[in-house]
Amino acid sequence: MVETLQIIEADNSAHLAQFLDLPYRLYADDQNWRPPFRFERKAHISPAKNPTLNTINDQKFLAVRGASVVGRIAAFINSAHQNHHQDGAGHFGFFDCEHNPETGAALLSAAQSWLTEQGAKKIIGPCNWTVNEETGLLVDGFDTPPVVLMPYGRPYYAEMMEQAGFEKSIDMLAFQADLHAGYPRPRQTQTMVKIAEKDSRVTFRKVNLSKFADEVALAMNIFNDAWSENWGFVPFSDDQISHMAKDMKPLIDPELFLIGEIDGEPVAFITMIPDINMAARGLNGKLFPFGFLKFLYRLKVKGVTQARIPLMGIRREWHNKRRGLALTAHLCETIFEAARNKGYTHCELSWILEDNAGMIRICEQAAAKPYKTYRMYEKQI
């Protein structure tokens, strides 16, 4: 007997616990799945702990077959996105489900219906609240694990999207750099680095950990300006920046958070963080009672060799200008050298829009290769 599929609203604590738990069951047998910490995922959907939710009206859904939860999705209206883009879009995220076309179709239909009731004119996703967080559906690169704060999924999700009438909006690329490869650098890169070194107007410094909250606010101010014209961009709010500073500080090495200045004015930054997914493997998202010591040993003693550059930027006024290009090249080469000295062998640069020719060129000059593709979908409703 085939059990009936039901889509229910996840509105109580028991439902939310099932919503959070599903990926840990769904991907348990996948060798490339890297379970995120459960306490972090719980905080991520909590309005009391995640300031991003101050601008979001959402509805979470569960797909239930018999006594088992077999899928989940969240539909939401992000007023910060609407204020910036005014495109009438609603969004969906947290999409995970069993390999059954009926389940995927029912979840996407539930999200669409709810967004239609909210007055949305189109639906975009997946993203887990904003494009500044886990964004896109993995469509290529299933043969390697995701790095920290990058999404995961199944190959059949793309077919579910397309069967539900969603079309590609844009692709986002993840580049992987072997930090010991690609030397000597192309002549153009070497020239740009030398220009920055000889330019008296250009200076560089490490982040000041004693003023870390202020430094993060400075970097995010640069970021908000640098990427303001990018697809799907939503600026970081002051509350989000403060929250980010608190979360990031334990992961930050001052030699891997660099700021570039022109005439004493900060105009660019770059930061690299360890891929804590490497240190958390096998813990099933749990730090206690025994996971914490294992995690700490892997992170601080044994060492993590994979890193990620999640954030960088240069103010728009210096885009495509010689001094700006030189400063960017110098920042990249300096942080790569510092990472090698700390034992890192590889670094992911992610994510990068497929039409961002400038960033793609920077990756290529660093001998980084595209190895994962994340797709954003959209549908008129």
Q: pLDDT tens for residues 57-76?
A: 999 999 999 999 999 999 99
Does the pTM surpass 0.85? The reply is: yes
pLDDT (0 to 100) of residue 181 = 95
Q: What is the DSSP letter of 185?
A: P
Q: What is the pLDDT of residue 1?
A: 55
CB neighbours of 224 closer than 8 A, spacing ≥ 6?
235, 236
pLDDT at 287: 85
Q: Scan for tokens 């939310």, then name that residue.
A: 16
pLDDT value of residue 301: 76
pLDDT of residue 147: 97
Over the stretch 202-230, which tens digit does the pLDDT of each residue have?
A: 999 999 999 999 999 999 999 999 999 89
DSSP β-bridge partners for residue 378: 124, 167
Which stretches of the chain drop beneath a pLDDT of 50?
A: none
8 Å CB contact between 104 and 97 = yes
Residue-by-residue DSSP string for 6-66 = EEEE--SHHHHHHHHHHHHHHTTT-TT--PPPHHHHHHHT-TTT-GGGGGEEEEEEEEEET
Helices (H), the chain: 13-26, 38-44, 79-85, 101-117, 156-163, 187-198, 212-226, 238-248, 276-280, 291-296, 322-341, 357-365
Whether 130 and 236 have beta carbons less than 8 Å apart is answered as no
- HSE on the CB side for 234, CA within 13 Å? 23
Report pLDDT for 2. Answer: 65
Cα–Cα distances (Å) from 376 to 37, 137, 172, 199, 360, in that order, read 25, 6, 8, 41, 18
Q: Which of 90, 83, 79, 78 is nearest to 129 (CA)?
A: 78
- What is the distance between the alpha carbons of residues 153 and 159, in angstroms, rounded to a whole number? 12
Please report the domains of the chain, with CATH numbers, ordered by start residue: 5-172 (3.40.630.30), 177-374 (3.40.630.30)
pLDDT at 300: 81
